[in-house]
Amino acid sequence: MSDTKYTEDHEYIRVEGNQGTVGITDYAQGQLGDVVFVDVPEVGAKFSKGDEVAVVESVKAASEIYAPVSGTVVAVNESLADEPGLVNSDPVVNGWFFKIEIDDAGELEGLLDENAYKAHID
């Protein structure tokens, strides 16, 4: 079962079991414009909810990416080093940033579901 939650800062976390795949939403990539660089965390790095985890740079701005939940990075999207534009063309399937092993599933309760996120950006 996969369940996607959203932050008010436009990150998504697609939850599968005790892991989550994190990236930025289609809305966020549209606001940023053409992404030219993504700095992803190292595998094994531990973060608390709200910590700055990654940076995405576009032709317009640089934006911090925050951990939607506490946990340990278990994978990063190596493709973004050579193809940062994947964040623009396919932010959810191929443009994800990192995967995190979730320390406390209870933290997911504080995130937005799809309907709440849509209301947040409208």
**pLDDT tens digits for range 51-100:** 999 999 999 999 999 999 999 999 999 999 999 999 999 999 999 999 99
Structure-block tokens of residue 9: 């800062």
Looking at residue 17, its pLDDT comes to 95
User: Do the domain assignments include residue 122?
Assistant: no
pLDDT band at 1 (very low <50, low <70, confident <90, very high): very low
CATH number where 46 lies: 2.40.50.100
Q: Print burial letters for 55-67: b (CB count within 10 Å at least 16), e (below 16).
A: ebebeeeebebbb
Q: Print burial letters for 78-106: b (CB count within 10 Å at least 16), e (below 16).
A: eebeeebebbbeebeeebbbbbbbbbeee
Backbone phi, then psi, for 101, in 5-degree steps?
A: -85, 120
pLDDT band at 13 (very low <50, low <70, confident <90, very high): very high
pTM of the predicted model as reported, rounded to 2 decimal places: 0.95
**How would you list the strands of the sheet with 35-39, edge to edge?**
35-39, 52-58, 62-66
Total domain count, the chain = 1
Q: What share of the chain has pLDDT > 70, as a percent?
A: 98
Tell me the H-state helices in 55-121.
79-82, 86-89, 114-121
Give residue 10's domain range. 2-109
User: Do the domain assignments include residue 117?
Assistant: no
| Whether the predicted pLDDT of 101 surpasses 90 | yes
Whose CA is closest to 81, among 31, 32, 33, 36? 36
